[in-house]
Amino acid sequence: MSIVVVGMSHKTAPLSIREKIYFSPHDSKSFQELQKVKGVEEGLILSTCNRVEVCAAMQEGEGVTQNLSRFLTHYHGYPPAQFSSYVYQHKGKSAIHHIFRVASSLDSMVVGESQILGQVKAAYRTSQEAKVLGPQLHRFFNRAFFVAKRVRTETTLGSQPVSVGSVAAQLCQKIFKELTNKHILLIGAGEMVEAILDTLIQRGVQTFYIANRSKESVIRLQGQLQGKLQERFKQSSVTVHYLSFEELDRWLFKMDVILASTNSQSFLLTRAMMEKAIQQRKQNPIFCVDISVPRNIDPEVHNIDNIYLYNIDDLQETVKENLKHRALEALKAERIVQEEGDKFYEKMHHWNTRQSTGA
């Protein structure tokens, strides 16, 4: 039995490619199809804004990585050859080190960000519920969680948390020196939006518009924000105006800044909607950041005069500037991952040997 990882990330594939093979977290069919892949004994699918990966415990033999590569593309209706130059493959010790690095946020666009560990844990739970996670991957991912904890404990990599969401908010600050007088629309109510809100509140913004499918999610998010305000800043309130997706078209012209992060599989803001908004604003600029995968804002919006659209891949330069000071801590974390990866590989080899000999 060998651990195999096949996937693509922000390091190997642009957003326009990654979003084509994105797996929805609520797509139970994908796990059923993964179980049918030849050689797969156990499996896990990790799909985030920056990576799409399939991790499997597979029988040794020819073509195991190719089988997973075909699954990754065939499931979404594409031929493997169309994506072969973007896909990476890891097997055995290489796969172990890779997943340990991913869980420890060393392979993230924002090294040291905390969201990826939660996303890996969520993928682990989903795979458990779908009954495609067995004893091999159970041991493996629990060790990955332990390694991520060691990295957090023994380095300062995560002492000043930086996330894709917070970087998006920082980019807004670069464009507009003063944000407190701007109308800011956030689309979504998940972890990324929460990170953006947290960063903007620290910069003095107290009024937001949030569009989401569920009003209850926005109310819950507002309650969490109030708690943070009282605990950290001794402020009493932040104002959140809820908008349904159906109302967006009527409100867009009021917005100076739009930040989007949802799991929607289609564009929530189209070119026609944004052309109408910019005309109503009499060409007063709109700044947009879309960190969703698949994208929530039609990329054609970038071609409209006075609308400035950035996607998640555009944030990489800002990220690099922020993380130069983390280089030394990242090296310490890499040594931990190397050490733990080597140890786990030896243990796994021992378990497999015992199984094959019946000891």
In this predicted structure, which of 110-114, 223-227, 337-341 has the lowest mean pLDDT?
223-227
The answer as to CATH 3.40.50.720 being correct for domain 164-318 is yes
Q: Please report the pLDDT score of residue 124 as a whole number.
A: 96
Q: Please report the pLDDT score of residue 356 as a whole number.
A: 66
Q: Please report the pLDDT score of residue 353 as a whole number.
A: 75
Quickly state the pLDDT bin for 111 (edges 50, 70, 90): confident
pTM: 0.83
What is the SS3 assignment for 300?
helix
| Gyration radius from the chain CA atoms | 22
Q: Please report the pLDDT score of residue 1 as a whole number.
A: 77
Helix axis angle for 316-323 and 164-175, nearest 10°, is: 100
pLDDT for 234 beyond 60: no
Express each pLDDT in 166-206 by its tens digit: 788 878 887 887 888 899 999 998 888 888 888 888 788 88
Read off the amino acid at residue 281.
Answer: R
Pick the catalytic residue: 49, 55, 172, 288? 49
Q: Judge whether 49 counts as a catalytic residue.
A: yes
pLDDT for 312 beyond 80: yes
Phi, psi dihedrals of residue 138, rounded to the nearest 5°: -60, -50
Q: What is the average per-residue pLDDT within 42-46? A: 96
Boundaries of every domain in the chain: 2-154, 164-318
Residue 96 CA: distances (Å) to CA of 8, 71, 179, 251: 16, 21, 44, 48
CA distance 291 to 312: 5
Can you name the CATH fold of 2-154?
Beta Polymerase; domain 2 (3.30.460)
Query: Which among 238, 227, 231 has a CA at the least distance from the CA of 180?
Result: 238
Q: Please report the pLDDT score of residue 230 as a whole number.
A: 61
The per-residue pLDDT of the chain, averaged, comes to 89
